[in-house]
Amino acid sequence: MPTAHIRHTPDGRTAFELTPRRTRLSLLALLALAVAAAAAAVASSPLWLRAFFGFVAFFFGSIFLTGLPNLFQRGGTTLLTIGDQGLEIPRSGLIPWTEIEEVGQTHVAGQRAIGIWTTDPYFAARQGAWYVWPFALLNRALREPALSFTDKVVALDDLLSELERHWRGSGASVEKVETTRRTGSAARAD
């Protein structure tokens, strides 16, 4: 079941938000993963295993720290806002429809997802904070979309229909792919 819910704003935009409770639970899960990986790093004897668990602890700890300000919010945490101007992501700001090359279904880490490919794969990272860059570089190296939202976070059909409704209304030339796209291995479906 997706954790985000849809909220339509008075100005005609659509926001996908996490409730404060879901945000807190997600952050606590990240903290638990970071602490468990750090404990495994300390308890491991081979150096390569210590390095691996240390990296995992750093990774989950970093994500926890970037989301820490959301822990103290009274309202929901906005994941994505879709409007006639484009997509707005809290950490990266507005991504205009003219920068979006393709929107389609894909798989990310074995989960069904909606992928958003931008003409410049680093567009969101250039507008975002410094800690967005490692994720942008990893997405590019793995040939993943610049932005992706899995079915565990949002209802994919709702997200896809809202994306389609807004970009069609904007007059931008975004290509929507109906078939599933497997990133990195399949050719583009036209």
Tell me the C-alpha distance between 21 and 68, whole Å: 14
Global pTM value = 0.63
Task: Give residue 66's identity as a one-letter amino acid code.
Answer: T
13-72: per-residue pLDDT in tens?
888 887 766 767 777 888 898 999 999 999 988 899 999 998 888 888 887 877 766 666
Distance of CA 164 to the CA centre of its chain: 18
**Are residues 63 and 55 in contact, defined by beta-carbon separation less than 8 angstroms?**
no
Nearest alpha carbon to residue 8 among 158, 169, 170, 174: 158
One domain, residues 56 and 132:
no
One domain, residues 44 and 125:
no
Distance of CA 20 to the CA centre of its chain: 18
**Domain range enclosing 141:** 85-181
What total number of domains does the chain contain? Answer: 2
Banded pLDDT at 156 (limits 50, 70, 90): confident
One domain, residues 104 and 157:
yes
Q: Output the average pLDDT for the chain.
A: 78
